[in-house]
Structure 1
Amino acid sequence: MKNLIVAFIVLLIGCSEKQSTIPSLPTKEIVMDGLNHPWSMAFLSNEEALVSEKDGHLLRINLNSKEKRIIKGFPTDLTDSIRAIHFGDNSGIFEVLIDPDFTSDPWVYVSYAAKVPGKGTTTKIVRAQLKNDSLLQHQTLLEANPFTKEYYHYGGGMTFGPDGKLYITIGERLYWEKDEPEIPIAQDVSDKRGKIYRINPDGSIPDDNPDFGPNAVPGLYAMGIRAAQGITVEPKTGNIWFSEHGTIQGDEINILKARANYGWPNVTSGKLRSQDYTPPKFEGVTFTPPVWFWQHTVAPTGLTFYTGNEFPQWENNLIVPGLSRGSLWRFRIESEIIKSAEELFIDDRVRIRKVRQSPDGKLYILTDEDNGKLIQIKAQ
């Protein structure tokens, strides 16, 4: 009898262990809709967040009450919403971040497309203090001159690194490679476009930034960028990862390295849009290959690493959304190598601009639609 009881207990323990290893299935729950092509989200608490609308406003939202309040005092040089006039127009409000010490120093960092009448637009990074739902004490941190008539590939991704520095992606701004100057924009260290920057929170340049030579633009950290929007820190290692848009395929995931050249337009994992264009050859230049690239178009956007408890099997996995085909991907990583990839919600596709995790570990996505939605990814 005693042996039977022991065997029964062992059987129960075994069943319990098997149940604990059953993966939690993800499902979507709409938290809020009525957002105008939302781009980014910064949590002020588990219940409150700032949300940037690419074609609208900077909002303060409450996830419980569903209240939305417009943040006043946004810079007045923001581009008008002209999507209906210019096909594929990418201008508007992009990333929103809060200072790592926000409770004591309430700085909000925003990237957006700024305009100068008669000259065009460019990517601009500002910070301001948030007080009583208003932005005060504006400071310009980076203006990616020149202003041009192109409405594409602004970049605008931002993240704070574990070193406390602000990392910024700036797109190349061209649609056709045939419009490249003699030295391609992303390969010209004197041109602010097509680069990744590392600056101090006040806009000054860190003393330990890499040296690209006397003609390099201030704050330059890496180059050879076409259209990078998403950039995030891997909590486990401190590595910074970013997504990159190709042209005809060529979408990539990269790890940011100081002084790296990611190759655009000289090398790409896809094809050039201007197939008769041949980029110049550079002697002695080393191009950094991507960690991952897709064989089809994904248009990857604002990625993040998952550290919550709701999906134990996803711990430290990289979650990457996409605009094309409504993709949402989960990558398992070991030692800077992507070991496996899973595409989620293939039966429920929607353009996704950003994935964010709340302070208490809940996972959210923002959909890029006229009736944009904030959606929580929950265990079924």
Structure 2
Amino acid sequence: MSAAVRLIALALCSACTTGVDADLPSGVRIEPVVEGLDEPWGIGVLPNGALLVTERAGRLRLFRDGALSDVAGLPEVAVAGQGGLLDITPARDFATSRTLFLTYATPQSGGSGTALASARLSADATRLEALRVLFEMAPGSSGGRHFGSRVVEAPDGTLFVTIGDRGDRPSSQDLDRHNGSVIRVTRDGSVPPDNPFAGSAGARPEIWSYGHRNPQGAGLDANGTLWISEHGARGGDEVNRIEKGANYGWPVISYGVHYSGARIGEGTAKEGMEQPALYWDPSIAPSGLLVYQGEMFPDWQGDIFVGSLKFDYISRIEVDGDTAREAEQIEAAETGRVRDIVKAPDGSILFLSVTDGTLYRLTRD
């Protein structure tokens, strides 16, 4: 696709986001699963049906057999601004290893930064054991904004972590800093030798892609390709298909403007910088992202679901190659400030509402 045609397609795609019907699809219902959560951030689904939920203030909750309890043994968490305990992802081999991956804001010299840790959930599920810090962004950053952060285990067992620019816009273009990047490490925290900047002078070897603002959603499609959702400024929220070593442009290019109304960077396109698969204007404040692969909703196979923190709905996005369009807005009283969204083993969709501190299930009537 030529650059001109691609930009036209993107413009049409963005226009589609402003006139989509917002309602609950026919034959679908929403039911509460876990109530009484305090600013929930991430969901982890365990093989036995139990659920783990992170609360940003630094508490990990376990829901099983109808009861909610705390899990002890967390790392030290810096709770300030948007920082705190963030995402949680059970390892693919959790049934045998009981390994969990956590992202969080950790105290650092001069401030705090996004970190990744692994731990084992104890046999009685009351505490974390063998906690190990796998990665900390460098250098440290002051301020309380734009930590990211999701952790996704790739099919080859490596880990992707999304990191925001920490409010320092130019740092997203600086390969010697982790700000505004997607990083990739192994399960022991080492750098995979096929990372795009491994061995490159003046570049952090963990970086997989860069030029991001604040990516708060991430998920894999059926081919193992990583997709992320990220906050723009005023307008310009994006969904991006992540490619190895690619530059996604922030803050040089954007479809939004600064909150002051001033222009961002050099416009909407530049040679060597990727275009988003989809962008929103006005901004929806996108958070958790799910690429649906389940049996309960066969018509949604391969569709992307993104929660909106601003407009209180779940966006259903249809993908066509490396572009996408918002096809539907799933909106109900329960979809207030949707923070995370994952698939349950039965194919239903679980999502967190920050508004009422509830984990809900989207299921068939």
- TM bin (shorter chain): 0.7 to 0.9
Q: What residue in structure 2 maps to residue 242 of structure 1?
A: 228
Describe the shift of the 1:288–1:365 C-alpha distance in structure 2 as closer, same or farther (beyond 3 A): same
| Aligned residue type for 1:357 | K
Q: What residue in structure 2 maps to residue 12 of structure 1?
A: none
Q: Deviations over 1:54-91 (max 9, x none)?
A: 124111112xx32112111111x2124x5xxxxxx201
Count of equivalent residues: 336
Q: Pick from 290, 307, 324 the counterpart of residue 276 of structure 2.
A: 290
Q: What residue in structure 2 maps to residue 14 of structure 1?
A: none
Describe the shift of the 1:34–1:258 C-alpha distance in structure 2 as closer, same or farther (beyond 3 A): same
Distance in 2, matches of 1:342 and 1:285, equals 32
| Aligned residue type for 1:142 | F
Residues 205 and 219, structure 1, Cα contact 8 Å, conserved in 2 = yes
RMSD: 2.2
Moved more, 32-41 or 51-60: 51-60
Distance in 1, matches of 2:338 and 2:224, equals 25
Q: What residue in structure 2 maps to residue 130 of structure 1?
A: 121
1:79 aligns with 2:65: no
Distance in 2, matches of 1:256 and 1:250, equals 17
Q: What residue in structure 2 maps to residue 8 of structure 1?
A: none
Q: Deviations over 1:170-201 (max 9, x none)?
A: 11011xxxx65xxx100000012111111111
Relative to the length of structure 2, the TM-score reads 0.86
Residues 46 and 359, structure 1, Cα contact 8 Å, conserved in 2 = no
Relative to the length of structure 1, the TM-score reads 0.83
Distance in 2, matches of 1:278 and 1:243, equals 19
Q: Deviations over 1:302-325 (max 9, x none)?
A: 111222333232222111111011
Q: Pick from 212, 234, 244 the counterpart of residue 225 of structure 1.
A: 212
Distance in 2, matches of 1:145 and 1:261, equals 19
Q: Could you list the runs of 5+ residues in structure 1 that have no partner in the other structure? A: 1-22, 83-88
Q: Pick from 85, 88, 92 the counterpart of residue 93 of structure 1.
A: 85
| Aligned residue type for 1:323 | L
Residues 257 and 264, structure 2, Cα contact 8 Å, conserved in 1 = no
Runs of 4 or more consecutive aligned structure 1 residues displaced over 6 Å after TM superposition? none
Q: Pick from 301, 305, 311 the counterpart of residue 287 of structure 2.
A: 301
| Aligned residue type for 2:204 | V
- Residue 145 of structure 1 and its aligned partner are, at CA, apart by 2.6
Distance in 2, matches of 1:341 and 1:79, equals 38
| Aligned residue type for 1:149 | S
Q: What residue in structure 1 maps to residue 358 of structure 2?
A: 373
Distance in 2, matches of 1:245 and 1:93, equals 19
Distance in 1, matches of 2:32 and 2:90, equals 24
Q: What residue in structure 1 maps to residue 297 of structure 2?
A: 311
Residues 252 and 291, structure 1, Cα contact 8 Å, conserved in 2 = yes
Alignment partner of 2:94: what SS? coil
- Residue 45 of structure 1 and its aligned partner are, at CA, apart by 2.5
Q: Could you list the runs of 5+ residues in structure 2 that have no partner in the other structure? A: 1-24
Q: Deviations over 1:194-236 (max 9, x none)?
A: 111111111111111113731111211110011001110002x
Alignment partner of 2:204: what SS? coil
Distance in 1, matches of 2:190 and 2:271, equals 28
Q: Pick from 94, 98, 105 the counterpart of residue 97 of structure 2.
A: 105
Q: What residue in structure 1 maps to residue 160 of structure 2?
A: 167
Distance in 1, matches of 2:242 and 2:347, equals 25
| Aligned residue type for 1:379 | R
| Aligned residue type for 2:243 | K
Distance in 1, matches of 2:166 and 2:52, equals 27
1:27 aligns with 2:29: yes
Alignment partner of 2:288: what SS? coil
Describe the shift of the 1:46–1:312 C-alpha distance in structure 2 as closer, same or farther (beyond 3 A): farther
- Residue 257 of structure 1 and its aligned partner are, at CA, apart by 0.1
Residues 197 and 220, structure 1, Cα contact 8 Å, conserved in 2 = yes
Moved more, 244-253 or 203-212: 203-212
- Residue 254 of structure 1 and its aligned partner are, at CA, apart by 0.4
Q: What residue in structure 1 maps to residue 144 of structure 2?
A: 151
Q: What residue in structure 1 maps to residue 240 of structure 2?
A: 254
1:266 aligns with 2:265: no
Describe the shift of the 1:35–1:291 C-alpha distance in structure 2 as closer, same or farther (beyond 3 A): same
Q: Deviations over 1:5-45 (max 9, x none)?
A: xxxxxxxxxxxxxxxxxx85322111121001111111112
| Aligned residue type for 1:219 | E
Q: What residue in structure 2 maps to residue 68 of structure 1?
A: 68
Residues 332 and 341, structure 1, Cα contact 8 Å, conserved in 2 = yes
- Which structure would you say has the larger Rg? 1
- Residue 269 of structure 1 and its aligned partner are, at CA, apart by 1.2
Residues 298 and 327, structure 1, Cα contact 8 Å, conserved in 2 = no
Alignment partner of 2:311: what SS? helix
Q: Pick from 316, 323, 337 the counterpart of residue 323 of structure 2.
A: 337
